[in-house]
Structure 1
Amino acid sequence: MLTSTDLIRVVFVDDHMILVDSIVSRFQRDPDIEVVGSATNASDGLELILETEPDVVILDVELPGRGSFDIAEEISSRLKNTKMIFLTGYLSDIFIELALRVNAKGYLLKGEPIESLIHAIKKASRGEYCFSQSVQERLVFDHKKDRYSIQSKSMLTSLTSRQIEVLRHLARGMSVKEVARSMHLSEKSIDSHKYRIMHKLGIHDRVELARFSIREGLTLP
């Protein structure tokens, strides 16, 4: 058991309140973990994380607002000692790759037992990696670079984290104006991202863009 000054301080960001409440309640019974806050959207989550500077952050892949990978980049650059774990229902190569891009220490599926998440938090706090078995099977470890990478590559690899977020919104049928409002960006910025996305993917039709996103596991059918 850790002392009060050595407790692993955790922030949980997920838009499913029932899940948040149940997991936070379970965390409170663990003598080594202290939950310092939770949020249900990306912007509030980022503000809370920058304010509390936790040891470990648990992020859902899909968050309202700016998007989880967008804020994860900022967390990674501004809080060097904060470790990130993605907890999601998406088993998608591109999401796993994006998690690795922002130096996340874990990627767990929501079907895992709560004990697996607690174990992952303790590993991540020590700087160790933690993945669900089905995620681990998609990875290779580079001993020289001391890091994991995804085995397979897709056309989505050429997109930035922000472009992936924009693509997901567009693929759901949202207008440029709606995407801009959701991500707190200008319409001009979203239009620019939209052009670059379609150019990189060689897709110029919104319907095909949606189909491509479903095939790649970015959105649900």
Structure 2
Amino acid sequence: MSVRVLVVDDHPMYREGLVTAIAAMPGVEVIGDAADGAEAVQKTLELTPDVVVMDLHMPQLNGIDATRRIVADRPGTAVLVLTMLDGDDSVFAAMRAGARGYLLKGADRAQILRSIEAVAQGEVVFSSGIASRVLAFFAAGPGAAAVVPFPELTDREREILDLVARGLTNTEIAQRLFLSPKTVRNHVSNVFTKLQVAGRAEAVAQARDAGLGAPRATPSADLRRDPAG
């Protein structure tokens, strides 16, 4: 029986090439494709694939949030991330969201096929360079320090980036943190410079890929998704 695959990527030419490549693999059937995370969630519910091959940096709904929704709605569907993002922030955010595999774009067809088959059978797979980092993290034991997203940012800058990713304006952030609007603007500008982004939308995309922008944990909170995102 063939493994049923949904391909998700926002770049049309890359997505079409990936669909063609995966469709030619033995034992695999491509049942659909999607151009963003929201469409991926919808088509997963409609088509019930065995595996979703998921990009991360996408419009509408990024791959991290899409993965979280898919895993919550269809636990039997495995998500295999295929992305250019190789930072620890993205890797651990994807795994926390429920992805079973993480490959970098540039993986050859044989590696993609092996990974699709593995996650479909409930295994977890990583690109070789990423696997060594993940193993090192867990080998450090439960006492190891948690991975901090964007270590180049100060604690205050990271806090403000988290609020930006949750959809708050500079004025709302200033009110919440008891800071002046000018101070918040300065922090936001510093964040943009350090992340090398052109504006708010790109900063939000990077932040959410790294797991920021989620609602605060409370006993009654729905931890799957921030309604403002």
Same fold (TM over 0.5): yes
Q: Determine whether 1:7 maps to 2:20.
A: no
Quote the residue 2:167 is aligned against. Answer: 190
Quote the residue 1:104 is aligned against. Answer: 99
- Conserved in 2, the CA contact under 8 Å of 1:23 and 1:114? no
What's the CA shift for 1:30?
Answer: 2.0
Once the two structures are superposed, the pairs formed by residues 1-221 of structure 1 within 5 Å of their partners are: 6-140=1-135, 153-155=147-149, 167=161, 190-191=167-168, 195=173, 205-214=187-196, 218=206
Question: Aligned partners of 2:29 and 2:73: how far apart in 1?
Answer: 22
Q: Residues 41, 55 of structure 1: CA spacing in aligned structure 2 closer, same or farther, 3 A cutoff?
A: same
**Where does structure 1 lack aligned partners over 5 or more consecutive residues?**
1-5, 144-149, 158-163, 171-178, 180-188
Larger Rg: 2
Taking only aligned residues, the RMSD between alpha carbons, in angstroms, comes to 3.5
Question: Aligned partners of 1:23 and 1:47: how far apart in 2?
Answer: 20
Question: Aligned partners of 2:161 and 2:86: how far apart in 1?
Answer: 18
Question: Aligned partners of 1:192 and 1:7: how far apart in 2?
Answer: 48
What's the CA shift for 1:151?
Answer: 8.1
- Conserved in 1, the CA contact under 8 Å of 2:161 and 2:188? no
**Where does structure 2 lack aligned partners over 5 or more consecutive residues?**
152-157, 178-182, 198-202, 208-229
TM-score by length of 2: 0.67
What's the CA shift for 1:212?
Answer: 3.7
- Give identity over the alignment, percent: 23
Q: In structure 2, the residue corresponding to 1:15 is in which secondary structure?
A: coil
